[in-house]
Amino acid sequence: MSGDLRHAVLQANLDTVRHGLVISTFGNASGIDRAAGRILIKPSGVPYDRLSAEDMVACDLDGRAQDNRLRPSSDLATHAVLYRAFPGIGGVVHTHSTYATIMAQARRAIPCLGTTHADYFYGTIPVTRDLTPDEIAQDYVGNTGRVIAETFAELDPLAVPAVLVAGHGPFAWGRTPAEAVHNAQMLEFVAQMAWHNMALNPDPQPISEALLDRHYLRKHGAQATYGQGDVQ
Amino acid sequence: MSGDLRHAVLQANLDTVRHGLVISTFGNASGIDRAAGRILIKPSGVPYDRLSAEDMVACDLDGRAQDNRLRPSSDLATHAVLYRAFPGIGGVVHTHSTYATIMAQARRAIPCLGTTHADYFYGTIPVTRDLTPDEIAQDYVGNTGRVIAETFAELDPLAVPAVLVAGHGPFAWGRTPAEAVHNAQMLEFVAQMAWHNMALNPDPQPISEALLDRHYLRKHGAQATYGQGDVQ
Amino acid sequence: MSGDLRHAVLQANLDTVRHGLVISTFGNASGIDRAAGRILIKPSGVPYDRLSAEDMVACDLDGRAQDNRLRPSSDLATHAVLYRAFPGIGGVVHTHSTYATIMAQARRAIPCLGTTHADYFYGTIPVTRDLTPDEIAQDYVGNTGRVIAETFAELDPLAVPAVLVAGHGPFAWGRTPAEAVHNAQMLEFVAQMAWHNMALNPDPQPISEALLDRHYLRKHGAQATYGQGDVQ
Amino acid sequence: MSGDLRHAVLQANLDTVRHGLVISTFGNASGIDRAAGRILIKPSGVPYDRLSAEDMVACDLDGRAQDNRLRPSSDLATHAVLYRAFPGIGGVVHTHSTYATIMAQARRAIPCLGTTHADYFYGTIPVTRDLTPDEIAQDYVGNTGRVIAETFAELDPLAVPAVLVAGHGPFAWGRTPAEAVHNAQMLEFVAQMAWHNMALNPDPQPISEALLDRHYLRKHGAQATYGQGDVQ
């Protein structure tokens, strides 16, 4: 079980590179074993081509590393806050993928402009407010997680499994590390679509509620469990 | 014959990937044996790198699968409507290629801005109207085909072998599955040109009727059969 | 000698693909043996991966093929007009490279916005006027060459070795087929720069005459012969 | 020692190609041995795939080559001025990377729009003024270095290790040749982000001083030495 999660977290980190979602080493993926109360996350500063499953760093839900060999990703505290705030999620991914980062820097939420968006995100993908100087000075990384949680106060994090952190970049999540990576990849695609639409029309027209419901609910509605739908 | 079509449909599906027209598994290509009244289409949810010719699912023109092993693509009903509405076509391709999807989401028809467009599409590539809530609630996939057919009420589908479905993405077709893929690839190219033109000038100037005729008719006019022209 | 030119023309055609300047089969390169009065050009419709030096089609300067095995590129007449109009050139390349085609479709000349442009093109890269319906109806391909020559009535074609044909795409040339390809590649780069500048500022500021002269004349001035300069 | 620097300069030149920062041969990287007063720089006109460590040309700080075998890059005088003006740097890289060149041609400084920018550049990346006709006519390459130094009269070149030369392209530097290349790569990324932001909003909002300080100073502040921070 624990070994499976190690491999899943390793694979999630490698897949962010394979899908072109990170430049240099700017990305990290994690997974959680809820029963054991243990997060596994990419170590800090190890090149992707040398990562092994054994390198994934075990931490508790307060973001303290439980082994000493390698230090965890410097974004661990954000992951830990998200796991505590969103009990349904099992994996978190942070990338600097091109268009999602552009939208995060432009502080532009991504409205639902097409059916691919609707297949994965049930409505607008939000952008956080800016952190205050105090929030930045004290526990900056943890507060990044808290401002995400605040942004989702009225939202279901599994219905909209991604966010743009203002002036920073995207975080995505899912029930598993693999699903988090897939959501990060879909976020990049819909961000690319949205940027190009906004360049032609600053206020592009979202698809209808009916079409959003049709696409989202065929895979995620009351008659389905999250992620069990056949994605085509 | 049937074996040839199986291979042609498999190849068309693989070529959509090779030409970069699909992300993840978001695409499907089909072909039709008009004499046998049989459509062959990509199965749902099988990864592209494991697809074989035998996996292509045989269906009738009402969109009912004729074998039980694999389920057909969830877009089958759209393909089936197009085969019934456009008797001259032999292959249909659906992709989420980048710029064609951007234009579909922006609901911007693609005017003929250059000679490559004119070589393949005899005038503006249209965008469908939005589906109504009722059309979405009942037989959504079939109605996607019907709104395409409605868009072509006054158009020759072989003279303009592609469409942008509003808020969704492109469909392209041709006399064969291979030609449908080639048209999907050309659609992506002309959509890329058009987007970049519209970003500089919201209402770009089409080429003259004379130039459109010169390019289109050298390959597709009364003195040629469709597709027999030498493409250079 | 003739064998050398065959290989140079083959290589030029292959290099247009290698540099990403053509999509599908939309491109052609040629070279001329001025002493023999013979043009060698890519044949029409042969896939790039099967082209051999022997496949290059020999033609006279009126654009008549001199051997029967393969038909020459359908753009031969344009090449032939350019060789007659510009006695100093030894190679011609036609591509549909992305940004050069976008600028040709937008009918936007490319001002000299930077030093790379100045290294290769001594001032604005012009766009032709539209052809008239009569010019399109009669000898369209030859008239494409003539409208290019008309555009260069007051310009030195070796000082500005490329043009944008309105609503169509770019042609580039040089003293050799290899130089023509290199100019086509540089044209694509400066077109990409120019498009991105125009998207921020419809009327971007060219570099100074002094800087244009400094960059261009170090390689092409009175104290140098064309192309002998060391490109760094 | 000297052999190590030769290999470091070779590797820096190869890495500019590997990271897609140069087209054709338009780029050069150098390093300096401050104790020996010797610069090593890429030779002029040698194709990248044939470069060896032995080909790196040794020069003094006045920009005079110290060996005769190969001529140094034609941009050597710019590098030499930068090494004299910025005593803390150990490597310089010049590229024509796409978005940094676009911003240089558009004469748009790059404000700090996101945390990746803040991780590497402590505030706005400046653009130089245009050179005067006299500066272009006399010692143009050296004056390119002088106008960069002038631009940094009030700036710490290690806190903002890159510049856009108006109408030309970017230069980046660092304590080592490898760091200079990494900064050139990060410059390209932040230029890409900035261009896309400016295309949506001509005057995009920088991140707060507090966030800039948080990101920059965790790696470069009084309690750290430059470049010793763990980059994540």
Cβ neighbours of A167 in D, within 8 Å: 113-115, 207-208, 211
Q: Once rounded to an integer, what is the mean pLDDT over residues A141-153? A: 98
Place of tokens 């002029």: D44
Contact between residue D179 and residue D200 where contact means Cβ atoms under 8 Å apart: no
What pLDDT score was predicted for residue B222? Answer: 63
- Give me the mean pLDDT over the C129-139 stretch: 97
> Is B199's Cβ below 8 Å from some Cβ in A?
yes
Which residue, among D56, D11, D63, D13, has the nearest Cα to D37 in the 3D structure? D63
**pLDDT per residue over B156-186, tens digit each?**
999 999 999 999 999 999 999 999 999 999 9
| CA-based nearest residue in chain D for residue A75 | D232
Cβ-Cβ contacts under 8 Å for B74 (sequence gap 6 or more): A230, A232, B44, B141
Helix/strand/coil (H, E, C) string of A145-188? HHHHHHHCCCCCCCCCCEEEECCCEEEEEECCHHHHHHHHHHHH
Alpha carbon distance B35, B1 (integer Å): 11
Confidence class for position B225, pLDDT limits 50, 70, 90:
very low
For residue A89, pLDDT over 50 is answered with: yes
Q: Is the pLDDT of residue B221 over 70?
A: no
Amino acid sitting at position C96:
H
Average pLDDT value over all residues in chain B: 92
- Is the pLDDT at C70 greater than 80, yes or no? yes
pLDDT top residue among B20 and A228: B20
Q: A137 and D214: CB-CB below 8 Å? A: yes
Is the CB of residue B146 less than 8 Å from the CB of residue B139? no
Assess whether A203 carries a catalytic annotation: no
Closest by CA to D2, choosing from D51, D43, D70, D53, is D53
Average of per-residue pLDDT across A160-189: 98
> What pLDDT does residue D220 have?
83
Catalytic positions of B are 119, 226
**pLDDT tens digits, residue range D102-159?**
999 999 999 999 999 999 999 999 999 999 999 999 999 999 999 999 999 999 999 9
- Give how far the C-alpha of residue D202 lies from the chain's centroid of Cα atoms, to the nearest Å: 26
Distance of alpha carbon D57 from alpha carbon D163, whole angstroms: 25
Distance CA B172, CA B148 (A): 11
Touching check for C194 and chain B: CB below 8 Å? no
Mean local confidence (pLDDT), C183-200: 98
Cα-based angle C214, C220, C224 (whole degrees, multiple of 5): 110
Report residue B6's pLDDT band, with 50, 70 and 90 as the boundaries. very high
Minimal Cα distance from C188: which residue of D? D23
Nearest by Cα to A67 from A78, A59, A75 = A59
Of the residues D105, D107, D132, the best mutation for testing chain C's interface (the one with the most C CB atoms within 10 Å of its CB) is D105
Chains that touch D (3 or more CB pairs under 8 A): A, C
C193 contact D CB<8A: yes
**Chain B: closest CA distance from residue A218 (Å):** 11
Percent above pLDDT 90 for chain A: 84
| Cβ count within 10 A of residue A119 | 20
Mind telling me how many Å the CA of B207 is from chain C's nearest CA?
A: 6
Q: Which of C193, C216, C217, C231 to mutate to test the interface with D (most CBs of D within 10 A)?
A: C193
Q: Kindly report, residue by residue over C94-105, the tens digit of the pLDDT.
A: 999 999 999 999
What tokens were used for B109? Answer: 């028809």
CA distance B204 to B201: 6
Q: Is 60 exceeded by the pLDDT of residue C64?
A: yes
Q: Is A100 exposed, middle or buried (0-12, 13-18, 19+ CB in 10 A)?
A: buried
Interchain pair B140, A214: CB under 8 A: yes
Residue B232 has pLDDT above 60, yes or no: no
What's the pLDDT at A226? 36
Bin A155: left if φ > 0, else alpha if -120 < ψ < 50, else beta: beta
What CA–CA distance (Å, rounded) separates D101 from C32? 36
Of all residues in chain D, the one with the smallest CA distance to A23 is: D189
For C232, the closest of D23, D44, D132 (CB atoms) is: D44
Alpha helices of chain B — where are they, by DSSP H? 2-18, 76-85, 98-106, 115-120, 133-137, 140-151, 177-200, 209-220
Q: Taking CB atoms and an 8 Å cut-off, how many pairs form between chains A and B?
A: 77
Which chains sit next to C, with 3 or more Cβ pairs under 8 A?
Answer: B, D
CB contact, 8 Å: D199 with chain A? yes
**How close C112 comes to chain D (CA, Å)?**
9
ipTM of the complex: 0.92
> At which residue do the structure tokens 């040398």 appear?
A50
> Mind listing the pLDDT tens digit for each residue in C163-186?
999 999 999 999 999 999 999 999
List the one residue out of C41, C128, C33, C27 whose CA is nearest residue C76: C41
Domains belonging to chain B, first-starting first, are 2-220 (3.40.225.10)
Query: What residue of C is the nearest CA neighbor of B217?
Result: C137
What is the rounded CA–CA span in Å between residue D43 and residue D62?
17
Q: Cα(C173)–Cα(C226) distance, rounded to whole angstroms?
A: 13
In this model, does residue C44 exceed pLDDT 60? yes
Average pLDDT over chain A reads 92
Most C CBs within 10 A among B97, B181, B186, B196, hence the mutation to make, goes to: B196
Q: Which residues of chain D have pLDDT under 70?
A: 1-2, 221-232
| Neighbour count for residue D207 (Cβ, 10 Å) | 23
Task: Give the DSSP letter string of D104-152.
Answer: HHHT--B---SHHHHHH-SSPBPBPPPPPHHHHHSSHHHHHHHHHHHHT
Picking from D92, D66, D97, the residue whose alpha carbon sits closest to that of residue D79 is D92
CB atoms within 10 A of CB A227: 15
Segment A33-82, tens digit of pLDDT: 999 999 999 999 888 889 999 999 999 999 898 877 899 999 999 999 99
Cβ within 8 Å, pair C232-D75: yes
